[in-house]
Structure 1
């Protein structure tokens, strides 16, 4: 399904085309592997599941900003892999993506592991710390959750 909220794209994992998978993995590779030098594999078996949804904005060069959200085995919705191309940063694209997730799935608890320096940014969307910091992919993270909206 593609939304008509400007240029917002929303697809479940089982709806992605091969070209979309390539573009998604390309932006994540550049941001996480090259820029942030993450030391863990990105491909984790979740992306193509029907319970995984990919949200992104794009231009002629591919995705400009991206995130994925999925329902974990515990039944809790998770957000992760938030990535914005370097030439598109500072335009509020990630904020728009996160708001789109909360508009669609905010009736339930949403969890994420925020890179520690982004704690306050996520707190601005109603997320709060829910545990001790941890290391993932060589980067310090903070577990956060947003309780269901009233």
Structure 2
């Protein structure tokens, strides 16, 4: 019996989740001050005002790419203005609904992310054999003393028919 060929209609994605005590992050940021913030975020991210969630969101990305590869820097992930591609928004909405059901917290914040450097290379290894620009998107929410973050990493290849637009 011959099975029909299966075509992928969605691109491969890597997913990471982080749930952290918001007070713990606030204490770390208070102790580290501007040095902590500069180490963790880029000037562009500080202009976007995502410093408060940067550690948790970037931890999600680290989990998605499989850990901190040699050459890792916190700046391998950078929040960008603008919304992610429509299909990534739908995927994040679905995953965020699952997290909301589990935690009781609504993930209301979000951003597109550039993924570069050692983390881009690590993502490409895990997403092989795809080629293109590695990108990310994240959602987050705070409440009840927790910060819940969700991130996806994917290859954004506009010419890829498997990458819906």
Q: How does the TM-score come out when normalised to structure 2?
A: 0.27
Higher strand share: 1
Higher helix share: 2
Q: How does the TM-score come out when normalised to structure 1?
A: 0.28
Larger radius of gyration: 2
